[in-house]
Chains A and B, each alone.
Chain A
Amino acid sequence: GENVEQHPSTLSVQEGDSAVIKCTYSDSASNYFPWYKQELGKGPQLIIDIRSNVGEKKDQRIAVTLNKTAKHFSLHITETQPEDSAVYFCAASILGSGAGSYQLTFGKGTKLSVIP
């Protein structure tokens, strides 16, 4: 089955700096890569996702890049703010191809701390 590795497990940045979180996956059939932000006491919230037919996607201060050849994808947060502090999870899945194509395999998470 799919295996997703996520690094680093913890990350501290100064407010205004950029943060980068990296993930690798093992199953070359995976074609959908979402990122989730989880704040204390809440469920994960989808913040951005990318499908394998594109290499990069941006949404304001957040961007995700995908390298299918190397089987890795990254989350980039620019101009970080204290409210970006949370645990971030990457995940991989196969969408649209029948049975078993909806399970998300998650990374172990990155605890991001933005220091004011």
Chain B
Amino acid sequence: GAGVSQSPSNKVTEKGKDVELRCDPISGHTALYWYRQSLGQGLEFLIYFQGNSAPDKSGLPSDRFSAERTGGSVSTLTIQRTQQEDSAVYLCASSLEWGRGVDTFGSGTRLTVV
């Protein structure tokens, strides 16, 4: 597609439920990132995928968070047993290759945990 596509755009879930957020990067972009944007914390790095290398998960806030990238393209961020503090906008970004910085973000998934 023309840009980074994320779905759903909005998600409301009950505390304790699991959620899955999807990211379709720009075709051919080998690097994929997840960031979280919340009012109190600004933009925070969560996880990074580069080609077939092991992902850098150092930004994931707890073991309730996980992500995978299948076939070097689509990525899914999963949050288990959601908590109210997980409410935020989850942004996915991709770039053509490692070392070029993040140039294209999706519009994000706004997650609200009630």
Q: List 7 A-B contacts (CB under 8 A).
A: A32-B101, A43-B4, A44-B91, A95-B100, A101-B99, A102-B50, A108-B42
Shortest Cβ gap from B58 to chain A (Å): 8
B104 lies within 8 A of chain A by Cβ = yes
Interface secondary structure of A, over-half rule: loop
Q: Which chain B residues border A42 with CB–CB below 8 Å?
A: 107
Known contacts A102-B31, A102-B98, A103-B48; is A43 also within 8 Å of B42 by CB? no
Shortest Cβ gap from B98 to chain A (Å): 6
Q: Which chain B residues border A32 with CB–CB below 8 Å?
A: 101
Cα–Cα, bound, A43→B89 (Å): 9
Count, chain B residues at interface, CB 8 A: 26
A binding-site residues for B, Cβ under 8 Å: 32, 34, 36, 41-46, 49, 89, 91, 93, 95-96, 99-109
Partner of A95, one of B43, B59, B101, B108: B101
Once the chains bind, are B107 and A104 in contact (CB under 8 Å)?
A: no
Q: Which chain B residues border A46 with CB–CB below 8 Å?
A: 101-104
Once the chains bind, are B107 and A43 in contact (CB under 8 Å)?
A: yes
Known contacts A43-B91, A43-B93, A44-B91; is A103 also within 8 Å of B45 by CB? yes
B65 lies within 8 A of chain A by Cβ = no
Partner of B102, one of A100, A101, A104, A109: A104
B14 lies within 8 A of chain A by Cβ = no
Contact indicator per residue, chain B 70-101, by CB within 8 Å of chain A (1) or not (0) = 00000000000000000000010100001111
- Name the residue in B42, B43, B98, B105 with the highest tally of chain A Cβ atoms < 10 Å from its Cβ: B43
Known contacts A41-B107, A44-B105, A99-B56; is A107 also within 8 Å of B42 by CB? yes
